[in-house]
Amino acid sequence: MKLDVLYEDNHLIAVFKPANLLVQGDITGDVSLMDEIKNYLKEKYNKPGNIFLGLLHRLDRPVQGIVLFAKTSKGASRLSEQFREHTIQKIYTAVVSGQTPKTGTLVSYILKDENKNKVEVFDTPHGGALRAELSFETLATNKNFSLVRIALKTGRPHQIRAQFSHIGHALVGDTKYGGQKNSELLLAATELKFTGATDSASHEIKIEVPESFLKFVK
């Protein structure tokens, strides 16, 4: 595959992850985004041996969009801290069923079943469930579907997918959480804002909302 590099400096690299590509290799043995980036760095910089690449965050396999990696240990340390402190702004765009309010905030508690690779959502604290929060605004709607811009406040497993399903607005293509069947899951990481690894400059990466999303709300 041809790697779509969205941002690169001495310490960091951000790329576009297509839908259904693994971020990191797993027991399936399928090619991963990390594999592709390591190959890219090895060829571009003519580096022998192993390539360092720090995994800073993930996207679910069916989700497309921006993923940021560290090329150095300093980049990994500095950016991991930003992710832990929730100072990085992560924006997603999704198409959900039904007509959503103009704006909203969802706060709930998420408990993952590792065996089923699925989460349960609770309205109040529940056992080992983790607090999950996001806010959203509706960009377009035709009553059957809504295009929403989502700002994550926490990064829980399947958070966006599960929380919207829980309020009756499952994502299109997300049959795991009751969504309408579609050839792809309509969820993309479309904006990422962070501070550089070695400076105090703010960096912002944006991609366009996929055309396949827009056709649902025309």
Active site residues: 60
Cβ–Cβ contacts within 10 Å for residue 205, how many?
Answer: 18
- Please state the three-class secondary structure of 94-156 as a single string: EEEECCCCCEEEEEEEEEEECCCCEEEEECCCCCCCEEEEEEEEEEEECCCEEEEEEEECCCC
The closest of 69, 78, 59 to 36, measured between CA atoms, is 69
User: What element of type H or E holds 78?
Assistant: helix 73-84
- φ, ψ at 176 (rounded to 5°): -60, -35
What is the C-alpha to C-alpha distance for residues 66 and 171, in angstroms, rounded to an integer? Answer: 19
What is the C-alpha to C-alpha distance for residues 118 and 114, in angstroms, rounded to an integer? Answer: 7
- Say how far residue 28 (Cα) sits from the centre of its chain: 21
User: What element of type H or E holds 204?
Assistant: strand 202-206
According to DSSP, residue 82 is labeled H
